[in-house]
Amino acid sequence: MPSTVSVVIPLFNGLPYVQQALDSVLTQTTPVDEIVIVDGGSTDGSLEWLRQLELPNLTREELPAGTTAAQNWTRCTQLATGDYVKLLCQDDFLHPQALEWQIADLDNFPECNMAIAQRDIVNARGETIARARGCQGLKPGPVSGKDAIRISSIKGTNIFGEPVTTLFRRQPMQSALPWLDDKPYVLDIFFDTAVVINSCLVVRKASVGAFRVSSSSWSTHLAKVQRKQFRLWQEHAATVSGPLSMWDQVVASSNLLIQSSLRRIAYAYLNIRKTLDHR
């Protein structure tokens, strides 16, 4: 019997981008068996948009105001019933062959709990800033979860990528619940770690979608917070995949500083572009 797939979209004040996210699901080259959209207390018209949707395979739910992002992500995941689950953030979108490719990857490697791939980076207007980013240090094909965690720690960045890059097997994904709010800028890599620590993942070196960044939500202060929270993940990674050598620890710390500096440069660039666009 063919594998079934659910795409879950946590929704909170998602206008104007959520329609593009949904359209990218509806235009996949392989049919999507279930779409789950959960609203977490929107006030911008997103809830009204959700209520008027008419799709035969849609499961929807409304959560109260004050629901956190992690609580919404957790509820979406709980509602999914497909063999495979893709969590798609409302600002992002999939390329047409994303699910076809990643379903094939998991079908071909049944021992792996999740598939990851690269993604493009786009700005608020949908213009591409960078192409095929992610999966640094990984070769295509199956990779031990512990090896991937160690590589990500040494690289000083999340090589797994945002949820747009990831397709999970439902059972191990749901077993790893809940998503946690205490470190919001690394909630995805903490969750990915729990899913693959005793398993493996399969890597595809191709872009399966786009992750959207906005100058209005990025700042130098945010870069510092991200660095601090990623450092906490590195400490966690050492407890579950084994401590790094002294040299690898030095490299990991240096790479984390480099990645933080690159984010600051990216934030500055986006803010300059925003200023120029408003002239």
Q: Which of 48-52, 98-102, 169-173, 182-186 has the lowest mean pLDDT?
A: 182-186
Partners of 85 in beta bridges: 6, 168
- Compute the mean pLDDT over every residue in the chain, rounded to the nearest whole number: 92
Q: Judge whether 173 lies within some domain.
A: yes
Q: Judge whether 43 lies within some domain.
A: yes
Pairing outcome for strands 84-87 and 5-11: parallel
Q: Judge whether 73 lies within some domain.
A: yes
Question: 54 to each of 17, 18, 49, 179, how far by Cα in Å?
Answer: 18, 15, 10, 29
Query: Number of structural domains, the chain?
Result: 1
Average pLDDT over residues 52-64: 97
**Residue 81: what are its φ and ψ, rounded to 5°?**
-125, -5
Q: With a cut of 90, say whether residue 186 has pLDDT above it.
A: yes
Closest CA to 107 of 145, 144, 146, 142: 142
Q: Judge whether 257 lies within some domain.
A: no
The per-residue pLDDT for 215 is: 55
How many CB atoms are located within 10 Å of the residue 13 CB? 15
Which helix (H) or strand (E) segment is 209 a member of? strand 200-212
**Residue 147: what are its φ and ψ, rounded to 5°?**
-65, -45
Indicate which CATH number applies to the domain containing 112.
3.90.550.10
Q: With a cut of 70, say whether residue 218 has pLDDT above it.
A: no
Alpha carbons 152 and 158: distance in angstroms, whole number: 6
Range of the domain at 172: 5-213
Average pLDDT over residues 200-217: 88
Which helix (H) or strand (E) segment is 196 a member of? helix 187-196
Average pLDDT over residues 23-46: 97
The per-residue pLDDT for 24 is: 98
Q: Can you say how many angstroms the Cα of residue 144 is from the centroid of all Cα atoms in its chain?
A: 20
**Is the distance from CB of 83 to CB of 172 less than 8 angstroms?**
no
Alpha carbons 233 and 41: distance in angstroms, whole number: 29
Q: Judge whether 264 lies within some domain.
A: no
3-state secondary structure of 151: helix
Q: Judge whether 278 lies within some domain.
A: no
Q: Judge whether 105 lies within some domain.
A: yes
Secondary structure tally for the chain: helices H, strands E: 9, 10
